[in-house]
A and B are shown apart, each in its own frame.
Chain A
Amino acid sequence: MDTCIQKIREIAFQLLDKKEVERVIGFSNGTIPMATSPITIASKQDTEKLVFNSTCGLNLANYIRQQKGKIAVIAKGCDSRNIVTHIIENQVKRDQIYIIGVPCKGMINKSKIKALFEDEILKFTEDGETLTVESSLKKEKLNKKDYLRDNCRLCQHRNPVIYDVLAGEPVEEQVLDTPYPDVEKIAALDADARWLHFQELTKNCIRCYACRNACPLCYCPTCFVDESGPQWVGKGQDKTDVNTFHFLRAFHCAGRCTDCGACAEACPMDINVRDFTRKLNKDAFDMFGWEAGLDQTKRPPLDAYSPDDPNDFIK
């Protein structure tokens, strides 16, 4: 993937040079190991600041709304699907966005890597499929494919579904027999164990809303948790209120979530919020044959009526 960064920089340079876009939104190097940070670039000299690697786990579709003028954005497969969703939901206009598509081989699971070390990671480098990670105590060479994020391991849309230019050769798509093994595992638990699983899952939530704010779908001007009249949910650390936030947010994303993993990536408490959204993604697929963000012409299933909609729930 590091080869595509040269291509990304060239494309960005050209776009800014020819004034085809006003700004380019991409990633820049972070100040600490395994970190990259979204950046906006307006001058072609700054295109050197752009980077792209397997730590770019956030979703840049989250940064393209309400921008003035035409902008370019770097989009992985999932990001591109969220751009499609934005277009369907009238958050951006297609002709306002120049999409630099990046075929993606997956982003790394930073907490899984951190967990290998007793102390803090001092250095992280990536060379093709090999990750080299160093702390003051040891140095590890890791196979990237063993340390992919769960959503990337289970991704079936690594190539951008919409783009103006591709910054690399398309990658082979994974075809999975069981795309939702995690959901099935939770579903197989009995009710008590399932309850316990979710209690345990949100136990450390501090309601910072990083999951919500990192999510391109969560653009409501006033989120239901922030609404005061009526106040739908209490604002404290009461378990019921904390879980209500997670449940309702997940339902609000039903049929819209691309499982980009930005929510889990952003969570400072390492909560796999995707345990909520994945179940609804599976339902959307099972009931409506729907995967979000693949078709610019169709509204998400819960947003539209069709005579073919399943109606088994009517007894």
Chain B
Amino acid sequence: MENPYLPYPVRIDDIEIATEDKSLKTFKFVFLDPEDEKKFSYRAGQFAELSIPGVGEIPIGIASSPVEKGFVKFTVFRTGVVTSHLHNMKVGDIMGIRGPLGNWYPWDKLENKNVVIIGGGFAFTTLRSSIIYMLDPANRKKFKNIDVVYGARSPGMLLYREELYEWEKRDDIRMHITVDGTNDPTWKYHKGFVPQIVEQNAPKADADTYAIICGPPIMIKFTQPALTALGYKEHQIIMSLENRMKCGIGMCGRCNIGKELVCKDGPVFTLAQLNKTPKEY
């Protein structure tokens, strides 16, 4: 990258409301210059800075998968200045994307392993990217069992619902979808919080099993003991962190946890690594 601060110009190709409360939208971007798409070669677990000129930038996990070509997708929660502005933008608008940034889930290490994916709320974006990647016919055989525990407040708050229900029907992935609660009498999946569903449904750990967790701090906090109870060692628990970021390239200094920079040395860390750093995330 010549100038790491210079975003690639993109056009908003599609906007989809992702949750029933409309607080999340999925944006599909197309690169104005097809050459830029080649340069933006990423792996599942990485993030990028969505860059709106005159407004600002926001680091967001990449929700599309490296095996999906021709576009990139991001699911964005409306919370601050930039995300609120983005939620008001229209298909056809021009903006920028800077990246891909950060590291990724350790795909090399995960080959020939069982993978348990645990997500909560709207932190399912890079996990979607990962699942699509692993289920790709060219990749599926590289992994052994795949389990997914994903929970949200209510059915309407689950991201990528259509895909979840499709995956549910497959026999090469075990889905454990859950909601905190629902009045829907036709709801056929789990009810309960993620840590509890993990405890009841996730496979017990052996040396060949790794868990990837992504979710709100409270979910992570209570899922860790559940995994430990199932025998997962700290190097088998892989987490993706979020911190306030600006540059995304390890220079501006704010996202550090100890000497590690979440934007550049992370966002993916093993629990073993995190246990050696201050809990400043």
Partner-B contacts on A (CB < 8 A): 228-229, 231
Residues from chain A with Cβ under 8 Å of B81 in the complex:
228-229, 231
Give Cα distance in the complex from A229 to B85, angstroms. 11
| A230 to chain B: closest residue by CB | B81
Residues from chain A with Cβ under 8 Å of B84 in the complex:
229
| A228 to chain B: closest residue by CB | B81
| B82 to chain A: closest residue by CB | A228
The total of chain B residues at the interface (CB under 8 A) is 3
Is B185 on the interface with A (CB-CB < 8 A)? no
Is B80 on the interface with A (CB-CB < 8 A)? yes
| B84 to chain A: closest residue by CB | A229
Residues from chain B with Cβ under 8 Å of A228 in the complex:
80-81
Residues from chain B with Cβ under 8 Å of A231 in the complex:
81
| A231 to chain B: closest residue by CB | B81
Shortest distance from the beta carbon of A120 to any chain B beta carbon, whole Å? 31
Shortest distance from the beta carbon of A55 to any chain B beta carbon, whole Å? 34
Give Cα distance in the complex from A231 to B55, angstroms. 11
Shortest distance from the beta carbon of B93 to any chain A beta carbon, whole Å? 21
| B56 to chain A: closest residue by CB | A228
* Closest CB pairs A-B (n = 6): A228-B81, A229-B81, A228-B80, A229-B80, A231-B81, A229-B84
Shortest distance from the beta carbon of A102 to any chain B beta carbon, whole Å? 40
Give Cα distance in the complex from A231 to B80, angstroms. 12
Give Cα distance in the complex from A151 to B31, angstroms. 61
Shortest distance from the beta carbon of B246 to any chain A beta carbon, whole Å? 12
Shortest distance from the beta carbon of B120 to any chain A beta carbon, whole Å? 27
Could you name 6 residue pairs across A and B whose Cβ atoms are closer than 8 Å?
A: A228-B80, A228-B81, A229-B80, A229-B81, A229-B84, A231-B81
Give Cα distance in the complex from A127 to B81, angstroms. 57
Give Cα distance in the complex from A228 to B55, angstroms. 11
Shortest distance from the beta carbon of B68 to any chain A beta carbon, whole Å? 34
Shortest distance from the beta carbon of A303 to any chain B beta carbon, whole Å? 31
Shortest distance from the beta carbon of A87 to any chain B beta carbon, whole Å? 36
Give Cα distance in the complex from A54 to B80, angstroms. 47
Give Cα distance in the complex from A71 to B80, angstroms. 39
Give Cα distance in the complex from A311 to B132, angstroms. 70
Give Cα distance in the complex from A231 to B84, angstroms. 14
Shortest distance from the beta carbon of A300 to any chain B beta carbon, whole Å? 33
Shortest distance from the beta carbon of A123 to any chain B beta carbon, whole Å? 38
Chain B 56-95 per-residue mask, 1 if CB under 8 angstroms from chain A, else 0: 0000000000000000000000001100100000000000
Give Cα distance in the complex from A229 to B84, angstroms. 10
Shortest distance from the beta carbon of B41 to any chain A beta carbon, whole Å? 33
Give Cα distance in the complex from A186 to B95, angstroms. 49
